[in-house]
C-alpha cells in the first residue's frame, strides 16, 4: 500500500525527518543521562565529604534542574568563573539572581542552600501560572522601543507587577535611532514621556545601535542589581551587549512581516556589570497576564490612581460613572490620564473572577 504521505512528501524527506526526530531524541536522552550522571557523581562526592569548602555564589542561569553559579563577593556581585551545579533534592524553584551556598570539585558542583531572598519577580507562564523568574533585584528596567511599537497597556501591566513586587522600575525607550526615518516616532516617544514622567517614573531614551543614551542608562545601573524585561524584539539583549562589550550575547532579527521579535533569549542570564552591580537579560514576553493578582493589588499598582481611590463617595466605587467618584473627577480636572484609567479598567476586566 502506498504511504499516505507519498503524495505530499517525498520518501527521502520523510526519512530525513524521522532521522532528525531520532537524533533530537538521542541528544535529549544523552543530555538527561549526562545530567543524572553529574547529579549522582556530585551527590557521592558530597556524601564522601570530597568537595571543596562551602562558597557563597549567585545563580547566573538555570537550565532545567541544573544551575550555573558564580562565586560572589559580600555585596552579591559576581566575581569569578561559572560552574554548572546540580541542586540538593530539597532545593527546587531556584532562579537567576538567587544567592546560594555551593561546593565544587573541579567543574562539578552542588548547591546546598538558598540564602533568604530580598525579593522575587514572577511572570506568568504559558498556562497563566505565576513563576519566579529572577530574585534579589533592586531595579526593573522595562524596555520598550519604537519597533515593535510601544504598547502602553502592556507597560501598565509591567508597572503593576513591579509595584506589587515592591521593586522600582526604570522605563527605557530603545531604538531612538529610528526617529529620523519615522515621522510617527517622535509622537510615540512624547506620548510615553508625558504620560509616565508625570506619574513620577524615570524614562531614558536609548539606542543600542548607535550607542545613543547609553551613558544615562549606564549611570542608572551602577551598583544595582537590575533585570531587563519587555516584549520580544525591543532590544533587551542588544542593550545589554552594548553595555557589556566583552560579552557575546545572542540577538535576533524581527519577523520580516509582523515586525515582532522571535523570542531569541530563552533563559534569564545574569552578567556582572563592570561599573559595580549586575544585569539580568530575560526572555521577551508577548503578553503579561496579571490574572493571579487581586483588585487591591491592581489599585496599588496604578500609583497615580491609587491616591484618589479612598476619596470616592462610595466605598465600593468602581470608578465608572458613580456620583462623587474622585477618580473620574481627577480625569476631568486633568490630574489623571484618561488612558491610564481606561487601561486600569481593562486590566481589572481580565482578572479571574475570584480576584476581581
Ligand X SMILES: Nc1nc2c(ncn2[C@@H]2O[C@H](COP(=O)(O)OP(=O)(O)OP(=O)(O)O)[C@@H](O)[C@H]2O)c(=O)[nH]1
CB burial string 222-248: b at 16+ within 10 A, e below? eebbbbbbbbbbbbbbbbbbbbbeeee
Q: Which is nearer to Mg ion, 233 or 301 (CB)?
A: 233
Interface contacts to Mg ion, rule CB under 5 A: 236-237, 264-265
The one among 8, 253, 334, 354 contacting ligand X by CB under 6 A: 253
Q: Which cell numbers hold the place of 303? A: 500609583
Find the part of the chain contacting Zn ion (CB under 5 A) among 28-36, 186-194, 229-237, 306-314.
Answer: 306-314
Collapsing DSSP to helix, strand or coil, 292 comes out as coil
Q: Which is nearer to Zn ion, 188 or 317 (CB)?
A: 317
Residue 106 preceded by cis peptide, ω within 30: no
Cβ neighbours, 10 Å, residue 269: 21
- Under the binding rule (CB under 6 A), the answer on residue 136 touching ligand X is no
The option from ligand X, Zn ion, Mg ion, none interacting with 317 (CB < 5 to 8 A, set by class) reads Zn ion
Q: Which is nearer to Zn ion, 2 or 315 (CB)?
A: 315
The one among 162, 174, 226, 343 contacting ligand X by CB under 6 A: 174
- Planar angle of CA 279, 281, 285, nearest 5 degrees: 140
- Under the binding rule (CB under 6 A), the answer on residue 150 touching ligand X is no
- Under the binding rule (CB under 6 A), the answer on residue 237 touching ligand X is yes
Q: Which cell numbers hold the place of 18? A: 524521522
* Cβ 275 to Zn ion shortest distance, Å: 45
Spatial CA neighbour of 160 closest among 330, 329, 293: 293
Q: Which is nearer to Mg ion, 142 or 327 (CB)?
A: 142
Collapsing DSSP to helix, strand or coil, 147 comes out as coil
Q: Which residue has the cell 532579527?
A: 253
Q: Which is nearer to Zn ion, 11 or 311 (CB)?
A: 311
Binding residues (CB under 5 A) for Zn ion: these are: 312, 317, 319, 325, 327
Amino acid at each position: 500500500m502506498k504511504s499516505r504521505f507519498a503524495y505530499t512528501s517525498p520518501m527521502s524527506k520523510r526519512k530525513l525527518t524521522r532521522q532528525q526526530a531520532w537524533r533530537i531524541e538521542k541528544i535529549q536522552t544523552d543530555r538527561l543521562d549526562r545530567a543524572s550522571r553529574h547529579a549522582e557523581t556530585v551527590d557521592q562526592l558530597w556524601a564522601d565529604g570530597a568537595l571543596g569548602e562551602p562558597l557563597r555564589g549567585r545563580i547566573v542561569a538555570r537550565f532545567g534542574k541544573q544551575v550555573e553559579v558564580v562565586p560572589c563577593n559580600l555585596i552579591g556581585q559576581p566575581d569569578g568563573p561559572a560552574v554548572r551545579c546540580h541542586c540538593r533534592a530539597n532545593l527546587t524553584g531556584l532562579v537567576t539572581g538567587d544567592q546560594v551556598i555551593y561546593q565544587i570539585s573541579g567543574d562539578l558542583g552542588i548547591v546546598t542552600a538558598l540564602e533568604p531572598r530580598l525579593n522575587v519577580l514572577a511572570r506568568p507562564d504559558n498556562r497563566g501560572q505565576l513563576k519566579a523568574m529572577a530574585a534579589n533585584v533592586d531595579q526593573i528596567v522595562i524596555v520598550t522601543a519604537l519597533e515593535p511599537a510601544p504598547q502602553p497597556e502592556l507597560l501598565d501591566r509591567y508597572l503593576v507587577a513591579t509595584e506589587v513586587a515592591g521593586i522600582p522600575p526604570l522605563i527605557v525607550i530603545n531604538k531612538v535611532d529610528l526617529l529620523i526615518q519615522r515621522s510617527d516616532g517622535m509622537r510615540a516617544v512624547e506620548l510615553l514621556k508625558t504620560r509616565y514622567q508625570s506619574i513620577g517614573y524615570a524614562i531614558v531614551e536609548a539606542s543600542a545601535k548607535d550607542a545613543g543614551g547609553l551613558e544615562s542608562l549606564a549611570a542608572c545601573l551602577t551598583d544595582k542589581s537590575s533585570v531587563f524585561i519587555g516584549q520580544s524584539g525591543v532590544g533587551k539583549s542588544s542593550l545589554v551587549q552594548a553595555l557589556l562589550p566583552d560579552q557575546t550575547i545572542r540577538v535576533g532579527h524581527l519577523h520580516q512581516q509582523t515586525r515582532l521579535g522571535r523570542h531569541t533569549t530563552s533563559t534569564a542570564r545574569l552578567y556582572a556589570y563592570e561599573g559595580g552591580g549586575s544585569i539580568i537579560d530575560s526572555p521577551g514576553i508577548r503578553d503579561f497576564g496579571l490574572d493571579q493578582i487581586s483588585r487591591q493589588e491592581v489599585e496599588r499598582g496604578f500609583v497615580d490612581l491609587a491616591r484618589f481611590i479612598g476619596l470616592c463617595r462610595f466605598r465600593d466605587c468602581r470608578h465608572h460613572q458613580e456620583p462623587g467618584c474622585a477618580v473620574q473627577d481627577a480625569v476631568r480636572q486633568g490630574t489623571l490620564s484618561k488612558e491610564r484609567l481606561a487601561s486600569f479598567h481593562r486590566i481589572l476586566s481580565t482578572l479571574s473572577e475570584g480576584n476581581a
